[in-house]
Amino acid sequence: MIDLVIQHVDVLSDDTVIRDAYISVNGGHIAEISTEAPKEAAKETIDGKGMLAAPGLVNTHTHIAMGLLRNYADDLELMDWLEHAIWPAEAKLTDDIVYWGTQLGIAEMLRSGTTCFSDMYFFMEQTAKAVQETGIRAVLSRGLAGVAPTADKALIENKELFTTWNGYDDNRIKVMLGPHAPYTCPDDYIRRVIALSEDIGAEIHMHLSETKGEVENVIKQTGKTPIAHMNDLGLFDRGCVAAHCVHVTAEDMDIMREKNVRVAHNPQSNLKLASGIAPVPEMLAKGITVGLGTDGSASNNNADMLEEVRLAATLHKARLYDPKAIPAQTAWNMGTIEGARVLGYDDLGVLKSGQRADIVLYNTTGMHWMPRYNDVASLVYAANSSDADTVVVAGKVLMKHRELLTIDEERLRAEIAKIHNVFAN
């Protein structure tokens, strides 16, 4: 018996569409994609008529529980926003609040076609629990701020998170170390993070070169850019995901290419916090791996990856006065297969046999899907994320015809209403 068959579905595989096909899923992986019906019977069958099957979107950088602070403090630049609005509010967080905040973010992501996310936050045991229960895929890192009173404890928590969760359920959950940023992590603390990463074999996820101010301060203190300075400390030797990289020089990019620093590009957050526009076409030209992220929903203000894909495709065109700067297929790949590479999954992000079965069925019956000249262009320039009708992660159906199967939405709404009162007062 095959675990799951999706029948009569159009399948986006690389840049070609296979019409009226069958996707067979076994053991969390795609067994076969064929225009012939599988001979074996299936435990579960989904009818994909009128749908386009595409790889799930990969959110390479977020603080997912921050959906709780959506529309809480807006129209501020990064340091003002963090120091005067977000950090004081985060002081009120508890295990329970972060658990429900994570559920909220996961519900939002599944409903908008995201099947995998990379998170940096605290109370991460709660995040892991919500990921375990809901069935989404995630790479988790405990945010580590060396200047915070929690600095020592946070390192221990990140290590324990790694020991408990890294590799869980055939790598549905992975763990990295999360040094927060150069302005919250003194060199000595970074050295301790690197020593731990070597000790346990964990990769690193860090905010780097996000704002002009950050870069200027690091240059003032060390005479080097944040990328050059972190490279000298040895941060990139074990594998590193760098969020933002808005203000990087040509020399920085050479280091990033040489050390395989993988980039999480968060266009919406960078625009909203007025941080700037990352030189993504330039990074791609150098051969740097770039994926997309939403960042937290307090700086976005949602977790909708299709918006990031669209912005990645359009923003750089206007900056460079070049419509070819990031073509639709490149933007789509950054949202899927390149994002998977950023997170260290080499069998994720494209629908092909042998790949992990993280699949989204988009309803293509809406007016904005007609006519069907080019489905990648439809997804990048025309689709709504609410066209995501059915979502499969690691071979399990998590949303069927817009109904979440692993999340109790009514309960979630009630819990979020309670939490709203904690922050509103």
Ligand X SMILES: N[C@@H](CCSC[C@H]1O[C@@H](n2cnc3c(=O)[nH]cnc32)[C@H](O)[C@@H]1O)C(=O)O
Closer of 90 and 415 to ligand X (Cβ): 90
CB-neighbour burial class of residue 71 (10 A; exposed 0-12, middle 13-18, buried 19+): exposed
Does the annotation list 142 as a binding residue?
Answer: yes
Q: How far is the CB of 274 from ligand X (least distance, A)?
A: 12
Assess 210 for contact with Zn ion (CB under 5 A). no
- Which of Zn ion, ligand X, none sits in contact with 181, Cβ below 5 to 8 A by type? ligand X
- Positive/negative CA dihedral, 302, 118, 226, 148: positive
Question: Helical H runs in 73-123?
Answer: 78-81, 87-90, 95-111
Given ligand X, Zn ion, none, residue 34, with its beta carbon under 5 to 8 Å by kind, binds: none
Angle separating helix axes 124-134 and 95-111, nearest 10 degrees: 40
Judge whether 90 is annotated as a binding position: yes
- What is the rounded CA–CA span in Å between residue 267 and residue 279? 11
Q: By C-beta, is 87 or 368 nearer to ligand X? A: 87
**What would the x/- binding string for Zn ion be over residues 170 to 209, using CB under 5 A?**
----------------------------------------
Q: Per DSSP, what are the bridge partners of residue 23?
A: 6, 33
Contacts of 337 (CB under 8 A, 6+ apart): 55, 348, 349, 350
Shortest distance, CB of residue 147 to ligand X, whole angstroms? 9
Which residue, 189 or 332, is less far from ligand X as judged by CB?
Answer: 189
170 marked among binding-site residues: no
Cβ–Cβ < 8 Å for 290, 331: no
Pick 273 or 393: Cβ nearer Zn ion: 273
**Residue 29 annotated as binding site:** no
Task: Considering the complex, state which of residue 10 and residue 295 has its C-beta at the smaller distance from Zn ion.
Answer: 295
Q: Is 63 annotated as contributing to ligand binding?
A: yes
Query: What's 224-243 look like in SS3?
Result: CCHHHHHHHHCCCCCCEEEE
Q: Residue 356, annotated ligand binder?
A: no
Rounded to whole angstroms, how far apart are CA atoms 246 and 236? 18
Residue 347, marked binder? no
| Helix, strand, coil abundance in the chain, percent, nearest 5 | 45, 25, 35
The residue ranges that bind ligand X (CB under 6 A) are 63, 78, 82, 86, 90, 120-122, 143, 145, 148, 150, 154, 180-181, 207, 210, 269, 295-296, 299
122 interface partner picked from Zn ion, ligand X, none, CB below 5 to 8 A per type: ligand X
- Residue 384 beta carbon to ligand X: minimum distance, rounded to whole angstroms: 26
Is residue 303 within 8 A of residue 297, CB to CB? The reply is: yes
Q: Does 295 bind Zn ion (CB under 5 A)?
A: yes
Facing residues of 174 across strands?
Answer: 139
Residue 27: exposure state from Cβ atoms within 10 A (0-12, 13-18, ≥19): exposed
The tokens for 347 are 């069998």
Least separation in angstroms between residue 168's CB and ligand X is 21
Rank residues 101 and 296 by Cβ distance to ligand X and give the closer one: 296
The Cα 152–Cα 144 span in angstroms is 9
Tell me: does residue 108 bind Zn ion (CB under 5 A): no
Binding status of residue 119 toward Zn ion by CB under 5 A? no
Can you give the binding site for Zn ion, defined by CB under 5 A?
295
Binding residues: 61, 63, 90, 142, 180, 207, 210, 295
Binding-site residues for Zn(2+), please?
61, 63, 207, 295
